[in-house]
Chain A
Amino acid sequence: MTRREATGIAAAAAVIVVTLVLPGALNTYYIRIITGIFMFGILASAWNLIGGYTGYPDFGGAAFIGIGAYTTGILMVRSHLPFAVALPAGCVLAAAAAGAMGALLLRLRGHYFAIATLGFMLVLRQLTANLEITGGGSGMNLPPASDFKIFYYWMLGGLVLAVLAGFALPRSRPGYAIAAIRENQDAAQVLGIEPLPYKILAYAANAFLFAAAGGIYAYWLTFIDPLTVFNIDFTVQAVVMAIFGGPGTVLGPVAGAVILKSLDAALTNVSLFLHNVFFGALVCALVIFAPRGLAELFQLRPGRSRVAALGASIREALQENRV
């Protein structure tokens, strides 16, 4: 074990211990906020698997939030299964759905893939509203949990899983194939890499984690309807957080979720109506001034101070892409 690895493991252990004991020291409001941060950490890290590492920008992730939420809800309410059984079932179903849809959608590239995934989400929303088992448009109630703190721990567990997936994927054999596909799909194919199975793997892993967040969210909220869970805002926020923090990195998406969700909580306190407007303006500024994420913005350059480096990064970003 190198010194760097040992430091990494020690830091991770310290963070996990702190997050485990934290709920004992905080009031309900902060536990709720942090649970939300964990949730978006899962979403951003999961999106990073398909959007960051693989380069296929999925804009329909909320489809899998919906599958996870509704499977969990239906199994708990109609089959009286415990949450710990219903949740994994939802995750597996979402991964299977991603496998089936991915076989079609992952043949599309760029804009076409992005919109097709968005369309897939809208279709599932409409199907859910039409079906009887889901309670249709009027939604369904889940049994309330005995203690709200359990959601904190479930979301934390999901986040650890998502970060581990983001750590393991690029270091595995499929991860090398996925990196080759992202950089140049045609060249990868020439080298004998059949792209579709690898893309499906990343897409299904992303779906599994989205469904985990969705299932926990449903139990946490105790009420779901098609518009709440099949909600494009979940996807967009996950994408923005991943890009903000640095796509294709292990902890970037989590950092993005922590920063943006904390900011969002503060803005919601200022104005419930306008916090989405602020968020939109923030995304707009981010895209113009730091299109490669926050990490890149603060990257040190030889012989320059941090502030000068920041200015140089922004100037480069502005000059690079304008007409």
Chain B
Amino acid sequence: MDGTQISPSVQIALQNAVNGLLIGGTYATVGLGMSLVWGVLNVINIAHGAFVMLGAYTTYWLFTLYGIDPFVTLPVAGAALFVLGYGLQRVVVNQVIRASFLITFLLTFSFDLVVTNGALAVWTADVRAVTTAYSGRALHLGPVIVPAIRLMTLAAALVVALLLHLLMSRTRLGSAIRATASDQDAARLMGIPIAHVYAMTFAIALATAGIAGGLAGMSFPIYPAMGANYTFIGFVVCVLGGLGSVTGALIGGLIFGLLTTYAAGWLGPNYDYIVAFSALILVLLVRPAGLLGRTARFRG
């Protein structure tokens, strides 16, 4: 390759890096909740993506019906799913939490069926989008273009990750969650109400899923069956970053964003699953504890 051709290819590589990191924030937020539930409850929440979908619809309806700015709707989506999550865990998931993983796997599958098909019945299969007045704006930083809304979603994702990190490391609830994750019986003997702590964990995870849905809805189409995609993304993010930390999920999300963006740039738009899956299998076989190599516990 001679010198004159390097410039545009470098520019494309830079632009892909920026796009990947920006969208990686949304993926990281999807991964945060999945990692929390997996690390603390030892449950793979197959319905995680379906709850992301509910968050996306919350943002969509508040924006479309009442003209509320999508970023303002994020706390609302988070709060609504927090309540749903607490109830679901307290009433349903806690009943089977000590059963084999196949049982909890099936239970979350059943949540996915109910939520996704319920949404299909109520909101139809129409594909919707959140388009704000500032959706088309972009910053020009030298050779790369930074879409304003994507930059804001990354900022929001970082705020969510920081808040979760503070919650896990600086509060009594965070200590209780970490204690329960590392030794349930010892935690119970210390007087920690396990059922409540589990419910709070699931509630927090669903709150982040709701916010992730709002963020995803600003970048991607919204439709009832969108969830399956995000469940898979969440899982890959958890595996890439390693289970057990906010930082892990964040880094996993950014890596996943870069990976899929570069794959789309080089191979075409329809290879993202193939690339993500190959990365997943490679990491699982070579470094099962994730790229960061942490243990399977949720740390603050």
> Which A residues form the contact surface with B (CB < 8 A)?
51, 57, 59, 104-105, 107-108, 110-112, 114-116, 118-120, 122-123, 125-127, 129-130, 232, 236, 239-240, 243, 273-274, 276-277, 279-284, 287-288, 291, 318, 320-323
- In the complex, the answer to whether A129 meets B270 with C-beta atoms within 8 Å is yes
Set B92, B97, B232, B281: member contacting A323, Cβ < 8 A: B97
A279 & B113 in contact (Cβ 8 Å cutoff)? yes
B 104-136 to A, binary, CB cutoff 8 A, 1 in contact else 0: 011101111110111011000000000000000
For A321, the chain B residues whose CB sits under 8 A away are: 95-99, 103
Contacts A115-B44, A274-B121: A287 and B232 contacting too (C-beta < 8 A)? no
B38 on interface, CB distance cutoff 8 Å = yes
Report yes or no: B284 in contact with A288, Cβ–Cβ below 8 A: no
| CA–CA, A115 and B118, complex, Å | 24
Indicate whether B264 reaches chain A with its CB closer than 8 angstroms. Answer: no
Known: A122-B232, A322-B96. A57 touches B270 (CB 8 A): no
Least Cβ–Cβ distance between B255 and chain A, in angstroms: 16
A284–B235 CA distance with the chains assembled, in angstroms:
22
A107 to chain B, nearest CB (A): 7
5 tightest Cβ-Cβ pairs between the two chains A and B? A280-B113, A283-B110, A280-B114, A276-B117, A321-B99
Are A110 and B101 in contact, with the CB atoms below 8 A?
yes
- Contacting chain A: which of B141-149, B151-159, B272-280? B272-280
The verdict on B139 contacting chain A, using a C-beta distance below 8 Å, is: no
Cβ contact of B273, chosen from A51, A59, A122, cutoff 8 A: A122
11 A-B contact pairs sorted by A residue (CB < 8 Å) = A59-B105, A119-B232, A119-B281, A126-B271, A273-B117, A280-B114, A284-B114, A291-B96, A291-B103, A321-B97, A323-B195
Q: Which residues of B contact A51 (CB under 8 A)?
A: 102
A57 contacts which chain B residues (CB < 8 A)?
Answer: 102, 105
Decide if B44 touches A114 in the complex (CB within 8 Å).
yes
Specify which of B99, B194, B270, B271 is in contact with A320 (CB 8 Å cutoff).
Answer: B99
Q: Measured between alpha carbons, how far is A256 from B214 in the docked complex, in Å?
A: 39
Closest to A122 in B: B273
Is B288 at the interface (CB under 8 A from chain A)?
Answer: yes
C-alpha spacing A283/B274, complex, angstroms: 31
Distance in Å from the Cβ of A68 to the closest Cβ of chain B?
Answer: 21
Q: Could you tell me the distance between the alpha carbons of A110 and B101 in the complex, rounded to whole angstroms?
A: 7
A33 to chain B: closest CB distance in Å? Answer: 21
Provide the residues of chain A in CB contact with B285, threshold 8 Å: 104, 107-108
User: How many angstroms between the C-alpha atoms of A280 and B105 in the bound complex?
Assistant: 13
Contact residues in A for B111 (Cβ distance below 8 Å): 280, 284
Within 8 Å of chain A (Cβ to Cβ): is B15?
no
Contact A119 B38 (CB under 8 A): no
Which residue on chain B has the smallest CB distance to residue A233? B113
Q: What chain B residues lie within 8 Å of A284 (beta carbons)?
A: 92, 107, 110-111, 114
A107-B285, A232-B228, A274-B117 as given contacts; A280 in contact with B97, CB under 8 Å: no
- Which residue among A111, A236, A288, A321 has the maximum number of chain B CB atoms within 10 Å of its CB? A111
In the complex, the answer to whether A291 meets B99 with C-beta atoms within 8 Å is yes
Q: B181 → chain A, closest Cβ, in Å?
A: 13
Contacting residues of chain B (65-89) with chain A, CB-CB under 8 angstroms: none
Q: Judge if B230 is at the interface, Cβ distance under 8 Å.
A: no
Closest B residue to A282 by beta carbon equals B110
- Set of chain B residues within 8 Å of A112, measured between Cβ atoms: 239, 284, 288
| B262 in contact (CB, < 8 A) | no
Additional A-B contact list (7), CB under 8 Å, known A104-B281, A115-B235, A282-B110: A115-B232, A130-B270, A240-B106, A283-B113, A287-B103, A322-B98, A323-B184
- Whole-angstrom distance between the alpha carbons of A236 and B116 in the complex? 14
Q: Is the CB of B96 within 8 A of A122?
A: no
Give Cα distance in the complex from A320 to B96, angstroms. 8
B137-189 contacts to A (CB < 8 Å): 184
Instruction: List residues 235-290 of chain B with CB under 8 A from any CB of chain A.
Output: 235-236, 239, 268, 270-274, 276-277, 280-281, 284-285, 288
In whole Å, how far is A121's beta carbon from the nearest beta carbon of chain B?
10
Please give, as numbers and ranges, the residues of chain A lying within 8 Å of B120 by CB-CB distance: 273
Do A280 and B270 touch (CB < 8 A)?
no
Q: A118 vs B184: C-alpha distance in the bound complex, in angstroms?
A: 30
